[in-house]
């Protein structure tokens, strides 16, 4: 009985992992297929800087500014 | 003395220097020659004041990319285009001369005198804020040559000015020019002189030389690239931004140039060489000039996506410690033989063909502007001295074509060089293979750099005045 339960929990964990992986790949493919759409609002340039697009202008900001 | 029209009895039989054009170039050289006790005669095609009828003679066709119309960007009247100029002054940088046959050292001795003609202080500091960005200092002249020097010129007995007199072409014997053929109220008058100085601006210098070559085949070589390598300063609003005056002061101490008026940035020579780009200037107008309206709007916009920064900026604005507004830029134009002044079939009232300008804006110019702006925006964030937004038209390369406006600061067309195959005048501004014909003004500039041209034009006028004095003695 114990063994059966353990197997069930392992399967459900694996299924969850598969679900997360599928979602992750979906999002990744969206970013890869439409990079302009995916990054139109926020560009991450480096650890400290962010680029924000707002009404035909791209602002160069520090992360602390937000 | 100033005469409303030319009459043979008023002319000297053999004036030492005949100057064609009464703009900043023509008047500056005449004033300096007078100090050297040398007489000169100035011929001006326009009237004493603006007239629509006279101005219409300055129209011309533009083929290619759009520019400000040729009759809107220059003035055909006594004093020339200085009646509508903005007065911004700064000398060329030393690296601007890399394609010239002379260097900055050759015109530097005339800077002090040029400043006194423009009534501005000789103070043009440059400061390296980092390896890429320089801060530059400009001066602003209020001199309109026609108004400012009129009374002096009226009283002068060494300078004669004839208005309403249009140069048609030159006559010559061998390579020596003997007469300038002038059209005045349907009359043709020939003026004799020892030296002829053509100072009619960045379009007319080319136009009149091309017409002279057609009228007098023996005078100017067919190989001379007259009209070619035409340039201007594309003008663009590259973006908008905020620069903290106090933070610049604290961070850079003596390196920060604390002056009144707009703040100006440009690129270091190393940066231009490393990135292989053309130069440009970036100007931000201080908030005081705009009664904060523009600044408030920009801060409101920032507060939407960066509230912390928005609050901070409001405090700085109250203390009047911000430069805030649109970033105006003057861009250096590419050196291109396809951009040229040629003659149209249509003729003006004196029978001289109207100019036709072939112009294509270069992508290099705008790409240089993009790299310069990105470097400046990164500098502001890294040093925490401001925040910059770049226009999408510049960031996005697909939209880059033909965004710059302008058509002012006409330059090139009769450029300076060693070789008659790729230049029109030599390093003394004398037309190649002629003995006594000189060209003065920004049409002789081999490259334009980022600076406004008038101060340099006057430096060259004073240099030519010295050269003519030595020649005449």
Mean pLDDT of chain B: 90
Is the Cβ of B305 closer than 8 Å to some Cβ of chain A?
yes
Chain A nearest CA to B306, separation (Å): 4
Residues B320 and B365 sit within 8 Å (Cβ to Cβ): no
Assess whether A41 and A65 both reside in one domain.
yes
The verdict on A20 and A41 lying in the same domain is no
What is the nearest CA distance from B420 to chain A, expressed in angstroms?
47
So what's the pLDDT on residue B141?
95
Residues A15 and A43 in one domain: no
pLDDT recorded at residue B272: 94
Are A26 and A1 found together in one domain?
A: yes
Q: Distance between CA atoms of B234 and B73, rounded to whole angstroms?
A: 13
* Residues A2 and A28 occupy one common structural domain: yes
Q: Assess A36–B contact: CB distance below 8 Å, yes or no.
A: no
Q: Mind listing the pLDDT tens digit for each residue in B164-222?
A: 999 999 998 888 999 999 998 788 999 999 999 999 999 999 999 999 999 988 888 88
Inter-chain residue contact A54 with B392, CB threshold 8 Å: no
Instruction: Compute the CA torsion angle B395, B73, B362, B355 (nearest 10 deg).
Output: 160
If asked whether residues A46 and A65 sit together in one domain, one would say yes
Q: How high is the pLDDT of residue B199?
A: 96
The parts of chain B modelled with pLDDT lower than 70 are 13, 286-292, 398-404
pLDDT at position A40 is 46
Using the Cβ of B389 and the Cβ atoms of chain A, whether some distance falls under 8 Å is answered with: yes
**Do the Cβ atoms of B380 and A65 come within 8 Å?**
no
CA distances from A58 to A55, B263, B285, B311 (A): 8, 22, 20, 20
> Does ipTM top 0.90?
no
**Per-residue model confidence (pLDDT) at position B4:** 87
pLDDT for the residue B319: 75
* Same domain membership, residue A44 and residue A24: no
Q: Which of B221, B169, B178, B167 is nearest to B423 (CA)?
A: B221
Tally of structural domains, chain A: 2
Q: Which residues make up the CATH 3.50.50.60 domain(s) of chain B?
A: 1-51+60-123+139-232+411-473
> The domain containing residue A2 runs over which residues?
1-33
pLDDT in tens, A2-58: 566 666 777 777 888 888 888 888 877 867 776 555 554 444 555 578 888 888 899
CB-based contacts of B151: which residues, under 8 Å, 6+ apart? none
Q: Determine the pLDDT at residue B372.
A: 93
Q: Are A44 and A27 in a shared domain?
A: no
Contact B91, B455 (CB under 8 A): yes
CATH superfamily to which B1-51+60-123+139-232+411-473 belongs: FAD/NAD(P)-binding domain (3.50.50.60)
């Amino acid at each position: 009985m114990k063994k059966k339960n353990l197997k069930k929990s392992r399967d459900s964990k694996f299924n969850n992992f598969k679900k997360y992986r599928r979602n992750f790949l979906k999002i990744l493919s969206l970013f890869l297929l439409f990079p302009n759409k995916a990054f139109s609002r926020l560009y991450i340039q480096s650890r400290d800087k962010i680029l924000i697009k707002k009404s035909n202008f791209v602002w160069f900001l520090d992360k602390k500014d937000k | 003395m100033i005469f409303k029209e030319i009459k043979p009895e008023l002319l000297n039989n053999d004036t030492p220097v005949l100057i064609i054009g009464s703009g900043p170039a023509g008047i500056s050289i005449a004033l300096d020659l007078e100090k050297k006790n040398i007489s000169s005669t100035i011929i001006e095609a326009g009237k004493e004041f603006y007239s629509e009828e006279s101005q219409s003679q300055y129209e011309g066709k533009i083929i290619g990319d759009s520019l400000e119309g040729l009759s809107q960007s220059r003035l055909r009247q006594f004093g020339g285009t200085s009646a509508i100029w903005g007065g911004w002054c700064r000398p060329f940088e030393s690296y601007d001369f890399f394609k010239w046959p002379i260097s900055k050292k050759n015109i530097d001795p005339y800077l002090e005198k040029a400043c006194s003609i423009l009534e501005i202080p000789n103070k043009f500091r440059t400061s390296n804020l980092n390896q890429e960005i320089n801060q530059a200092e400009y001066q602003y002249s209020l001199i309109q040559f026609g108004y400012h020097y009129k009374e002096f010129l009226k009283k002068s007995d060494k300078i004669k000015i004839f208005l309403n007199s249009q140069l048609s072409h030159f006559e010559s014997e061998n390579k020596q020019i003997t007469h300038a053929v002038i059209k005045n109220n349907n009359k043709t008058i020939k003026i004799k002189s020892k030296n002829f100085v053509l100072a009619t601006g960045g379009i007319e210098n080319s136009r009149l030389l091309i017409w002279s070559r057609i009228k007098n085949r023996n005078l100017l070589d067919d190989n001379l690239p007259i009209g070619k390598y035409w340039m201007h300063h594309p003008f663009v609003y590259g973006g908008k931004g905020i620069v903290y005056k106090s933070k610049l002061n604290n961070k850079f101490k003596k390196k920060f140039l604390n002056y009144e008026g707009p703040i100006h940035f440009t690129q270091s020579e190393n940066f231009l060489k490393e990135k292989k780009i053309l130069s440009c200037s970036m100007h931000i107008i201080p908030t005081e000039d705009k009664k904060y309206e523009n600044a408030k709007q920009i801060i409101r916009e920032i507060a939407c996506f960066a509230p912390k920064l928005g609050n901070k900026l409001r405090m700085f604005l109250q203390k009047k410690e911000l430069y805030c507004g649109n970033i105006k830029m003057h861009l250096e134009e590419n050196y291109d033989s396809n951009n040229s002044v040629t003659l149209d079939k249509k003729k003006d009232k004196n029978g001289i063909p109207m100019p036709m300008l072939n112009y294509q804006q270069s992508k290099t110019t705008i790409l240089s502007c993009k790299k310069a702006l990105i470097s400046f925006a990164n500098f502001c964030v890294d040093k925490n001295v401001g925040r910059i937004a770049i226009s999408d038209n510049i960031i996005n390369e697909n939209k880059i074509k033909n965004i710059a406006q302008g058509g002012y600061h006409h330059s090139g067309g009769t450029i300076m060089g060693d070789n008659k195959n790729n230049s029109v005048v030599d390093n003394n501004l004398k037309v190649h293979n002629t003995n006594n014909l000189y060209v003065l003004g920004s049409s002789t500039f081999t490259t334009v750099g980022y600076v406004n041209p008038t101060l340099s034009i006057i430096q060259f006028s004073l240099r030519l005045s010295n050269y003519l004095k030595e020649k005449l003695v």
